[in-house]
Amino acid sequence: MPCYDLSESSSQNDLDSDGWSYQVCNEMVMPIAQSGKTDMFLPQPWSPDDFVSDCLTKGLTPQFDWALDTFGGRNTKKDFNHVSNIIFSNGDLDPWRAGGVVNDIGNAEIIVRMIKGGAHHLDLREPNEADPEDVTNARTEFTAAI
C-alpha cells in the first residue's frame, strides 16, 4: 500500500526517519511486531534476521544490548543505585512504557513516575487545557525537582 510505504523512495522520508533508523539499528533495538488484529497496523511479525539484514543495507550493525551495556537497566535497583538526577516518566497510555522503568527503584535521587492518562511524551509537550490532571501534577513535580 503506497500510504504505508516509509522506505527511502517514499515521500515520507526525512531527516527524522534517518536518525531513527540509526538509533534503532545501533543503540536501541526494539523488537516490535504488529498483529493486525488488535491494532491499526497491517500484520508484520518481527524477525531478528530480517531486522539485521535491513540494518546492514543501511550500513548499520545492530548492537542488541548496547543501551543496557552502556546505561544499565537489567537490574535497576543495582544499576541505578549510585546515580542521581534522573526522571523516569511514563504514561499509562504509552505503549513504549513496556521498555521503561516504571517501578520505584529504591533511590531517593531518582524520580519514577507513571502518569495516569499520559501518552507518549505528553509531559514534555506544551501544557494544554485538555491535559489529564496527573500530567499537570507531574510537570509541577519535575520542574520542582529540576
For the segment 75-111, what is each residue's pLDDT rounded down to a tens digit? 999 999 999 999 999 999 998 888 889 999 999 999 9
Please give the tally of structural domains in the chain. Answer: 2
C-beta neighbour count of 18 within 10 angstroms: 12
pLDDT for 1 equals: 55
Structural domain span for residue 139: 72-145
pLDDT for 2 equals: 60
Residue carrying C-alpha cell 515521500: 11
Say if residue 95 is in the same domain as residue 41.
no
For the segment 6-19, what is each residue's pLDDT rounded down to a tens digit? 555 545 455 566 77
Indicate whether 102 belongs to any domain: yes
